[in-house]
Structure 1
Amino acid sequence: MLKRVQHDGRVVTDFTRVAAIDWSGAKGRRHKGIAIAACGPGDAPPELIAPGHVWSRREVLDWLRERAADSERWLIGMDFSFAPPRMVRGCYLPGEDVPGDARGFWAYVDAKCADDDLGAASFLEEHHRRHFYFGAADGKKADFMHFRQCELAFNAKGGGKASTVYDAIGAAQVAKASFAGMRLLHHLGDALAVWPFDEGPPGQSMLVEIYCRAFIRMGGARGLKLRTMDDLNAVLARLGSAPAAGAAYSDHETDVLAAAAGLRQIAADPLYWQPKDMGPEIARTEGWTFGVD
């Protein structure tokens, strides 16, 4: 069993399976950037779910609903920001009449978007264009660099350079994926508890926000990409996992294989369930990336 433990040492949930999902905000109905890996307890190697399949976002939503209904108790990490920054400016979109809590904001994003397959490009490009950086015509990029408290903590501790959901340019941007993810969270409803916004009853499967490549660093790799099976299996070994099967994987696939093993390794550590800088207001409005202490 993988035990979720509160800071006082009490077991809240026993997880029997762990999964990691690399997400995509790309336009269209099928997305090569989506990948899912899962593993059981112990050192069982993580395995891809539906290898070779090109997922839609709605298929991922259906897969999550199925996990909520089955007999296993899942801890599932998804790689996107579950909410925008709010603490630094007091509002997700200053000057706009938008909800002030995460669940209300997820519903707001969904109501604004008619994009295919839970996409949210129109939210950035049409409905709230002035809040997002798309290029030099928008002004200084630094004026859009607003971060959540967990991202500030991640950056301050040398975890890397976290992105902001207001930066909508470049290959590293997370904006469109994050707002598409907020639509998914709204449609998911209460089928799964979403940490840290929900406590969730004991025994319920749970969804957490992750940063896949932080687990690659946790596994001792210097770069952000695992280019060979030897690289992947060296990271998995440091994350307490047996080697992965197979001959070659894409970057998205190695990301989720490493993240599933890493999430399993830290799931029982109270440190990550009760980050010292995450108070109730942050938990209600911004959330937190699981794995940032």
Structure 2
Amino acid sequence: MVGEKARREAGVVPRFDHFVAIDWSGAATERPGGIAMAVAHGEDGAPVLVDPGPNAGKKGGWSREDVLAILRDELPADTLVGLDLGISLPHADCGAFFPGWADSPPDARSLWAMIDRICAGDPHLSASSFVDHPELSAFYRRHNGREGARFHAPGAVHRRGRFRVTEERQAALGCSPYSNFNLVGAAQVGKSSLTGMRVLHRLDGRIPIWPIDPLPPSGSVIVEIYTAIPAIAAGRRAGTSKIRSHEELRQALSALGSAAPAGTGLVDDHSADALLSAAWLRIAAQDDRLWNPPGLDAVASTEGWTFGAP
């Protein structure tokens, strides 16, 4: 493999000094317990958790507004940020995000703007208004058995809802992705994705979001990640990808060639996901193939992609 310095000199991939991974949550509360942020610096060293600081208040933890503020105003230069959420919705399968609806937006950025507009009155950058929309709710699987008539694509071969192209590729890796239109169960990713898209819209173009935006030769970039992919890269099976002890975390980080933060005993899976993903981003960013997966160009502006999906 060509070394990072040679890659930078050749202009093959951008040069990143910091690697940040953020485990996300779509819960409709000010400080969801599921948000965790970790950073890995340079070419070595253990990844570390980022403390939300004094803004966390008595309840502790990150708010989505806190994360937005860091991404917009406090991010170190030349940082690769991985967000564990879907940056868009399925489009290629039906030729539209919301087929048959006259106001279906044409691309991902228009989708983000529409979501933020519809949810303008929802506190904490939550997204309840979008999934309860009288027309858009037909595309979602919601709680209490409320599955919209448009949740599945015509001729669907599985019951997990509509997939983006990148989710089909995730499945080929052995992952078990669920549709971004799914709001039910432990595997639901719908509200996480919608709240994340509100944040992306409010960044207002300050940071390129790959592959919605072209990959720049320098500067910071945001990518979508799926934390099962770093776990698989560290030798764990997709079905048992969650890490819940410092011992397991140390083994997984070692498999990625990374030192581990100090600690023993239990660790919450959100923190572990962020720590492992930050270390994985540090090595994955050097792989040209991950920036150029087959078929990307056809869906880049509409569906986006999960960094690391083949």
Give the alignment's TM-score, normalised by structure 2.
0.86
1:3–1:12 contact (8 Å) kept in structure 2: no
Partner of 1:109: 115
How far, CA to CA, are the matches of 2:148 and 2:63 in structure 1? 34
Identity %: 38
How far, CA to CA, are the matches of 1:95 and 1:10 in structure 2? 44
Which aligned runs of 4 or more in structure 1 are off by greater than 4 angstroms? 1-6, 139-144
Partner of 2:105: 99
1:4–1:270 contact (8 Å) kept in structure 2: no
1:266 to 272, 277, 284: 284
Shift of 1:254: 0.3
How far, CA to CA, are the matches of 2:192 and 2:170 in structure 1? 20
Unaligned runs of 5+ in 1: none
Partner of 1:278: 296
Shift of 1:246: 2.5
2:125 to 118, 122, 133: 118
Q: Tell me whether 19-28 or 43-52 shows the greater mean CA deviation.
A: 43-52
Secondary structure at the counterpart of residue 141 of structure 2: coil
Shift of 1:169: 0.8
Partner of 1:256: 274
**Is the alpha carbon distance of 1:57 and 1:228 closer, same or farther for their aligned partners in structure 2, counting shifts above 3 Å?**
same
Q: Tell me whether 137-146 or 215-224 shows the greater mean CA deviation.
A: 137-146
Residue type matched to 2:254 in 1? A
Describe how 1:74-223 pairs up with structure 2 within 5 A: 74-96=79-101, 97-113=103-119, 114-127=121-134, 128-134=136-142, 135-138=144-147, 145-155=161-171, 157-222=172-237, 223=240
Residue type matched to 2:243 in 1? L
Q: How many aligned positions are there?
A: 287
Unaligned runs of 5+ in 2: 54-59, 154-159
Give the alignment's TM-score, normalised by structure 1.
0.91
C-alpha deviations, 1:216-239, integer Å up to 9, x for none? 121012312212211101100111
Say if 2:246 is the partner of 1:229: yes
Say if 2:29 is the partner of 1:21: no
**Is the alpha carbon distance of 1:219 and 1:116 closer, same or farther for their aligned partners in structure 2, counting shifts above 3 Å?**
same
How far, CA to CA, are the matches of 1:177 and 1:2 in structure 2? 33
How far, CA to CA, are the matches of 1:90 and 1:149 in structure 2? 12
2:175–2:228 contact (8 Å) kept in structure 1: no
**Is the alpha carbon distance of 1:2 and 1:244 closer, same or farther for their aligned partners in structure 2, counting shifts above 3 Å?**
farther
Q: Tell me whether 249-258 or 224-233 shows the greater mean CA deviation.
A: 224-233
